[in-house]
Chains A and B, each alone.
Chain A
Amino acid sequence: MPKYHGPMADRRRWQEDLDGAPSRDIPFETMSGIPLQPVYGPDDAELPGQWPYTRGLFASMYRSRLWTMRQFAGFGTAEDTNGRFKELLRSGGTGLSTAFDMPTLLGRDSDDPLARGEVGRAGVAVDSLADMETLFAGIDLGSVTTSMTINSPAATVMAMYVAVGDKAGVGRERLGGTIQNDILKEYQAQKEYVFPPRPSVRLVTDLVRFATAELPRWHPVSISGYHIREAGSTAAQELAFTLANGFAYVEAGMAAGLDVDEFAPRLSFFFNAHIDFFEEIAKYRAARRLYARWMRDRYGAADPRSCMLRFHTQTAGVSLTAQQPELNLARVAIEALAGVLGGTQSLHTDSYDEALALPTEKAARLALRTQQVIAQETGVVHVADPLGGSWLVEELTDELERQAEAIFAHLLECGRGSMLEGVFASIEDGWFCGEIADASYRFQSKLAAGDWIQVGVNGYTDGEDGQTPILSIDPAVENRQLDKLARVKQARDDDAVRRCLQRISTEAADPTVNLMPALIEAANAYVTVGETTAAMESVFGTWVERSVA
């Protein structure tokens, strides 16, 4: 039986919420015509849409609205990616998601010597506002939602997006979307950091404050466990490190003078959907329950929305194999199903060829179609939290919650009662990296011993035909981008650029100033991402990881 973790469920209020929610116009019944209730369980079971949200954030869940099918895309120049965006919107995608190339992610321009070979390779190259204007050309920023996966230069790129909207006459209050802006996991897992942790968190907080004041439809941080898991963590570590980072941002926001209920409703999360089906579903359930309890009891959130953990899910890139890559279609379908049964708000399904290269257009379309099969054909969307009450899933939920609490206790001890300080300290002494590397090596050892079979890799290896077509990025992309950057630098007002950069470094030195207005001014003057980063780096310094294997 499901356990109770809060006040008794309020079935009458649940019914009211359900009645008041929009309903998709389809019969809620099985394929054979058996009618289905919106949720199942004993009379006193927890209900979706109610504290502590173990069973989902909304009373009606997918009966009202399916998750957002948000496919991450970006490669080559802004023109190339703009074309892919339009193709995804035509195919029924409902949100844009931008992948930037490695130089952009590290705040470097395409003409930086360290950028050689990486311009437009793993995402789109953005050097200045000119690229952002091209990237979103012909797309109404007031009617789509955009996700931008960028961290170290998040404030700079957000400033450019706001500038694009301003120029197109889209009111800032209509800009909807998410910017990842989660720097803490960079030091722990993804390693796309530039500045040291403390000034980086100040930038995160500046963007949160700006969004709180001016961008009511924007999610200014997407606290991401995805990369922690991809780096090799366990499910419990993904859950705990991610929530701990979230609590650290909450503490930083409150320390900057915001009331928790002013900004917490627009924090969102991003989790991995790995291949262990029930463990993943339990992870999402535990995440919602833990977050609700911590936000209310530790941070004093009074607004229910502050206690609701909204999350995006992406299927696990690391679970994909280069061997017999068509098998990845099956893996992605199973992982995506876990995300849906776990109540995700949006979902990216990986393409089957991503262990080989960036996806081809056909592979990307198949990935989106996989979500549509789940949504339209399987019937799993009719009932909220269909696995709630499963003895296995409930026990796994409780166990992941216990393991996460143990990690929180450790971090709080490191931070002498502050999660923010505990996270800083555990980044600085390499604790997170060590824990993740240990878990990653344990998994590799299981594979080596044959204790875990990955089909096509260490078992069932016949049938490889090596015929998968892959996307190759035209090497001319780099030159096209370099030409464009040179033209932008030629055409702009150099005095204005100098003034903007001076303002950025002056204001960077004063932690009480919010840098966003200076960054928007710089975007409009076509100051580049690399120039902006360098100006901040001269004040903030550079982070170098302690290299331990």
Chain B
Amino acid sequence: MAMPAGGTTPAPLRVLLAKVGLDGHDRGLRVVARILRDNGFEIVFAGLRQTPEAIAAAVIQEDVDVVGVSMHNGAHLTLAPLVVRALRATGLDTPVVVGGIVPEVDVPKLRAQGIAAVLGPGASNEQVVASVRGAAAQAPGR
């Protein structure tokens, strides 16, 4: 990501937030958008019914640092890895953070498939901010 010319403050991190698949539960995604915005992030709100391919295209278009996807209907093991794969297929190493109803037993499976972090139900504002910052910091090329 470009640094502002001559500035000392890094540009804010840009986070794309999306729901993947058909699930319409967008309360969490909207709350996370506001938490991140209040903490100095720039939000690209892609919203509902995004495909992994559409997310990858938006990441290129919008120069996004971190992708946040939200899932509440049990499809995370199928869909979250597809988002990672779609990004990698486009040559992007953008980290993906998953939020929503994800049972603890599924977290290692998601991590093994390249998901940078998982935010479960009840995550605090601090956890949301820390996981997105942490994901961005670990991303290669930063």
B35 on the interface (CB 8 Å rule)?
yes
Q: Are A356 and B103 in contact (CB under 8 A)?
A: yes
> Chain B, 62-84, contact with A by CB distance < 8 Å: what is the 0/1 string?
00000000000111011100100
Which range contains the number of B residues in contact with the other chain?
A: 35 or more
Are B101 and A357 within 8 A (Cβ)? Answer: yes
Q: Are A191 and B48 in contact (CB under 8 A)?
A: yes
**A114 in complex: contacting residue of B21, B34, B104, CB < 8 Å:** B21
Flag whether B13 is at the interface (Cβ < 8 A).
Answer: no
B31 is an interface residue with CB less than 8 A from chain A: yes
Q: Is A358 an interface residue (CB 8 A)?
A: yes
Interface size on A, residues (CB 8 A): 45
Q: Which of A190, A192, A454, A470 contacts B103 (CB 8 A)?
A: A470
Question: A548 interface residue, CB < 8 Å from B?
Answer: yes
Are A322 and B22 within 8 A (Cβ)?
Answer: no
What is the CA–CA distance of A296 and B121 in the complex, to the nearest angstrom? Answer: 44
Contacting residues, chain A, for B45 (C-beta < 8 A) = 547-549
Shortest A227–chain B CB gap in Å is: 9
Contact mask for chain A residues 192-226; partner B; CB cutoff 8 A; 1 contact, 0 none? 10000000000000000000000000000000000
> What is the minimal beta-carbon distance from B50 to any residue of chain A, in angstroms?
10
> Does the CB pair A358–B74 fall under 8 Å?
yes
B115 at the interface (CB under 8 A from A): no
- The answer to whether A457 touches B101 (Cβ under 8 A) is no
Determine whether the beta carbon of B23 is less than 8 Å from that of A356.
no
Q: Are B17 and A549 in contact (CB under 8 A)?
A: yes
B142 interfacial contact with A, CB 8 Å:
no
> Contact: B47 with A448, CB < 8 Å?
no
Residues in chain A near residue B31, CB distance under 8 A: 232, 437, 440-441, 444
Which one of A116, A118, A356, A440 lies within 8 Å of B73 (CB-CB)? A118
Residue B114 lies at the interface, judged by CB distance under 8 Å to chain A: no
* B residues less than 8 Å from A121 (CB atoms): 73-75
Chain B stretch 33-56: residues in CB contact (< 8 A) with chain A:
33-35, 37, 43, 45-49, 51
Cross-chain contact A440 with B27 (CB below 8 angstroms): yes
Q: Does chain A have a CB within 8 A of B30?
A: yes
Query: Smallest CB-CB separation from A478: which chain B residue?
Result: B78
Cα of A192 to Cα of B45 in the assembled complex, Å? 19
Determine how close the nearest CB of chain B comes to the CB of A225; give it in whole angstroms: 15
Most B CB atoms within 10 A — which of A114, A191, A440? A191
B26 touches A191 (CB 8 A): yes
Q: Is the C-beta of B90 less than 8 angstroms from some C-beta in chain A?
A: no
Interface-located stretch among A60-68, A102-110, A153-161: A102-110
- A355 at the A/B interface (Cβ < 8 Å)? yes
Q: Chain A residue with minimal CB distance to B31? A: A444
Q: Is B91 engaged at the interface, CB distance under 8 Å to the other chain?
A: no
Q: Is B24 an interface residue (CB 8 A)?
A: yes
* A15 CB–B CB distance under 8 Å: no
| Least CB separation from B19: chain A residue | A191
User: Nearest CB to that of A191 among chain B residues?
Assistant: B24
Residues of chain B contacted by A114 (CB below 8 angstroms): 21-22, 49, 51
Instruction: Collect the chain B residues with CB atoms within 8 Å of residue A441's CB.
Output: 30-31, 34
- Structural contact, B73 and A122, CB atoms closer than 8 A: yes
Which residues from chain B contact A321 at a C-beta distance below 8 Å?
A: 121-122
The answer to whether B122 and A118 have CB atoms under 8 Å apart is no
**B107 CB to nearest A CB, Å:** 11
Enumerate chain A residues within 8 angstroms of B29, measured Cβ to Cβ.
549
Select A549's contact among B23, B34, B121, beta carbons within 8 Å. Answer: B34
Interface string of A407-426 (1 = CB under 8 A from B): 00000000000000000000
Cβ 8 A contact of B22, one of A118, A458, A473, A549: A118
Are B122 and A322 in touch, CB under 8 angstroms? yes
CB within 8 Å for A190 and B24 given contacts A355-B101, A545-B48, A547-B46: yes
- Determine whether A466 belongs to the interface, using a CB cutoff of 8 Å to chain B: yes
- Could you tell me if B27 and A118 are in contact, using CB atoms closer than 8 angstroms? no
B22, A547: Cβ atoms under 8 Å?
A: no
In the complex, A230 has a CB within 8 A of chain B = yes
Q: CA of A456 to CA of B124 in the docked complex: distance in angstroms? A: 12
Scoring B37, B74, B77 by chain A CB atoms within 10 A of each residue's CB, the highest score goes to B74
Which residues of chain B from 98 to 142 have any CB-CB distance to chain A below 8 Å in the complex?
A: 101, 103-105, 120-122, 124-125
Chain A to chain B contacts (Cβ below 8 Å), 10 pairs? A102-B22, A115-B22, A118-B78, A121-B75, A191-B25, A232-B30, A322-B101, A444-B31, A548-B45, A549-B29
A interface residues, Cβ below 8 angstroms from B = 102-103, 105-106, 108, 114-118, 121-122, 186, 190-192, 230-232, 318, 321-323, 355-358, 436-437, 440-441, 444, 447-448, 454, 456-458, 466, 470, 473, 545, 547-549
Interface residues of B (CB under 8 A from A): 17, 21-27, 29-31, 33-35, 37, 43, 45-49, 51, 73-75, 77-79, 82, 101, 103-105, 120-122, 124-125
A-B CB proximity, top 8 nearest: A117-B78, A191-B24, A547-B47, A549-B33, A117-B75, A121-B74, A549-B45, A122-B73
With A114-B22, A186-B24, A437-B30 known, 15 other A-B pairs at CB within 8 A are A102-B73, A108-B22, A117-B77, A122-B73, A190-B25, A191-B26, A230-B27, A322-B120, A356-B101, A437-B27, A437-B34, A441-B31, A441-B34, A545-B47, A549-B47
